[in-house]
Amino acid sequence: MKLKIITLSLILLTMIVSCQSQDQLEFKRYYTSGSLIYQQRCQNCHGKNGEGLSALIPPLTDSVFLAANKQKLACFVKYGLNTEVVINGKKFEDQMPATDLTPVELAEVLTYVTNSFGNKMGTISAEQVNAHLQQCR
């Protein structure tokens, strides 16, 4: 009886997974990996919930800012940011350091950030990141 239940459970799980589109699977892969990168590389400054740090470090919760700067986000993370940023009418002047993340890692962490903290912007692919990085040089 237990073997039948386990077998049926595995069959059901396989059916559910196979029903997901390639895009959905890619999003989940990017999002999950991006979450780990965020925890290791970004959370210390931007906070567990993307809330930022007082007047020093901007929050990552402003969907309007993220959407307006979607093509610049990879540049901000890869090369750092040393200009003033205004988010929700509040100025942030602290410098963001550059990172050594690969284009795939940038795509993963940006997919996570742009789909967390109240944001819903979909997958940012490594191809998009490469194109965006070419524009910021």
Is the CB of residue 119 less than 8 Å from the CB of residue 66? yes
Q: What is the pLDDT of residue 56?
A: 87
Q: What is the pLDDT of residue 51?
A: 94
The structure's pTM equals 0.83
What the block records as the tokens of 121 is 């912007």
Fold of 22-135: Cytochrome Bc1 Complex; Chain D, domain 2 (1.10.760)
Question: Tens digits of per-residue pLDDT, 111-131?
Answer: 999 999 999 999 999 999 999
Q: What is the three-state SS of the chain?
A: CHHHHHHHHHHHHHHHHHCCCHHHHHHHHHHHHHHHHHHHHHHHHHCCCCCCECCCECCCCCHHHHHHCCCCHHHHHHHCECCCEEECCEEECCCECCCCCCHHHHHHHHHHHCCCCCCCCCCCCHHHHHHHHHHCC
Give the CA dihedral 109, 115, 116, 117, nearest 10 degrees: 120
Each residue's pLDDT, cut to its tens digit, for the chain (137 residues) gives 776 677 766 666 665 656 668 889 999 999 999 999 999 999 999 999 999 988 889 999 988 999 999 999 999 999 999 989 999 889 998 889 999 999 999 999 999 999 999 999 999 999 999 999 999 86
